[in-house]
């Protein structure tokens, strides 16, 4: 299939597709359910995510950003869901210890990178871990809209 290489090393490039079209700037809140997740984790029918992953390999996300219908600029922010990957063996939990912090589940988003766009451009984010990402458009000037097309490799 075009865009895919043999999976002997888990290397692949996904087809480029429209990730989202934005006409109103997003709140700078990656926990919002309105922004779709871009999942760059390795998936193959021959492997179980629990028993086999390529978390030791860096990934890359390519974002083609197009300013449309009068938009003159935008600010893009890439966030990573920094969840803990649970493996088959888990450390013992001490029931006598109390912790004031609890796992926030889908709320542990961290800012990876910010990009200011003033022309149509290709934003290449390299050497990032495979994971679940969101791309927010936190500012949009000149009206119009921004179209984001993505592809990724791991």
Q: What is the pLDDT of residues 11-21, one digit of tens each?
A: 578 899 999 99
Judged by DSSP in three states, 106 sits in helix
Q: What is the pLDDT of residues 60-116, one digit of tens each?
A: 999 999 999 999 999 999 999 998 866 555 555 555 544 444 445 567 999 999 999
Tokens 């990656």 correspond to: 30
- The answer, as to whether pTM is greater than 0.85, is no
From the candidate CATH numbers 2.60.120, 2.40.50, 2.10.25, 1.20.58, the one assigned to the domain spanning 17-83+106-153 = 2.60.120
Largest Cα span, the chain: 60
d(CA 112, CA 109): 9
């Amino acid at each position: 299939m075009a865009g895919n290489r043999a999976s002997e090393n888990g290397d692949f490039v996904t087809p480029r597709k429209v990730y989202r079209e934005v006409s109103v700037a997003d709140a700078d809140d990656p926990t919002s359910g309105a922004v779709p997740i871009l999942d760059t984790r390795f998936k193959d029918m021959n492997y179980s995510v629990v028993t086999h992953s390529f978390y030791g390999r860096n990934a890359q996300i390519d974002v083609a950003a197009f300013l449309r219908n009068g938009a003159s600029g935008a600010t893009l922010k890439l966030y990573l869901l920094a969840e803990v990957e649970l493996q088959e063996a888990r450390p013992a939990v001490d029931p006598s210890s109390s912790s004031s912090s609890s796992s926030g589940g889908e709320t542990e988003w961290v800012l990876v990178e910010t990009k200011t766009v003033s022309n149509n451009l290709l934003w290449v984010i390299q050497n990032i871990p495979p994971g679940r990402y969101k791309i927010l458009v936190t500012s949009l000037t000149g009206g119009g809209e921004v179209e984001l097309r993505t592809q990724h490799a791991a």
